[in-house]
Amino acid sequence: MPEERKLVTILFADVTGSTELGESLDPEDVRALMGRYYAHAQRVIQEHGGTLEKFIGDAVMAVFGLPRAHGNDAERALAAALALREAIATDPLLGGRLLLRMGVNTGEVVATSDQASGDFLVTGDAVNVADGIVRARYRDGSTEPEFISPGVPIRYSLDLWHTATLFKAGHRVRVDISSSNFPHFDRNLNTGAQIGSDSLDEAVVATQTILHDTARPSRIILSILPAS
């Protein structure tokens, strides 16, 4: 399985509010909706010359520039993102029910390919293994917004969705914790207004502190699968 460095563009798309959607619908209905979403994603990505790298829960990750570079892969990824958004919005079953958040990033990765099967894996700074987010006011669900009180510790639980990654011996897991992940997720301007209704001119700087002690043990739970 030869390795080579490539300059590629990564398209990452996931469904906003998927947790609440799963709680409000029958599992078979959710499966049907997600199946249509996956089908749209696969078609759009292929039409724009990209390669579907993997599904991660309700997220789609695609690579443009592998296994073949086109010279305009960044433009192709952006066009695919817009086309996927349009496809979901105009789908008779998905329109108005599924909203997508998207991120596009260009960077150098190491690509490992299996020439026999055509499968490949990309790793590098341009690729996130998994990520998650929670709005402070919606920590207990989208239907029960509640603002936090400054200085009062609050417990948050972030679901990184289903994913699996093989770490070789000696490799480390790096965790980045931030109060913003724009443009993947909308900015939180800390004004208290409805998300998307305020402007940068109204932004308020917020300082977050992560607590880690005996009484408040912040932690990451990783499930380990057998190598077999």
**In this predicted model, what pLDDT tens digit does every residue of 34-55 receive, in sequence order?**
889 999 999 999 999 998 877 7
pLDDT at 128 over 70: no
Indicate the pLDDT class of residue 84, thresholds 50, 70 and 90: very high
Predicted local distance difference test score (pLDDT) of residue 104: 82
Predicted local distance difference test score (pLDDT) of residue 140: 76
Predicted local distance difference test score (pLDDT) of residue 116: 46
Indicate the pLDDT class of residue 126, thresholds 50, 70 and 90: very low
Nearest alpha-carbon partner for 184 in 137, 126, 138, 139: 126
Q: What is the pLDDT of residues 11-34, one digit of tens each?
A: 888 887 666 676 677 878 888 888
Q: Does this model's pTM top 0.75? A: no
Q: 1-128 has which CATH code?
A: 3.30.70.1230
Indicate the pLDDT class of residue 118, thresholds 50, 70 and 90: very low
Mean pLDDT of 4-13: 81
Write out the E strands in the chain: 3-16, 51-56, 59-64, 99-113, 120-123
Predicted local distance difference test score (pLDDT) of residue 61: 85
Residues linked to residue 113 through DSSP beta bridges, in sequence order: 120
Mean pLDDT of 137-164: 76
Domain boundaries, the chain: 1-128, 158-228
In three-state form (DSSP H/G/I as H, E/B as E, the rest C), the secondary structure along 136-174 is: HHHCCCCCCCCCCCCCCCCCCCCCCCCCCCCCCCCCCCC
Contact in structure between 174 and 219 (CB atoms under 8 Å): no
Nearest alpha-carbon partner for 73 in 105, 41, 109: 105
Indicate the pLDDT class of residue 201, thresholds 50, 70 and 90: confident
Interatomic CA distance for residues 56 and 164, integer angstroms: 9
Query: What percentage of the chain reaches a pLDDT higher than 90?
Result: 14
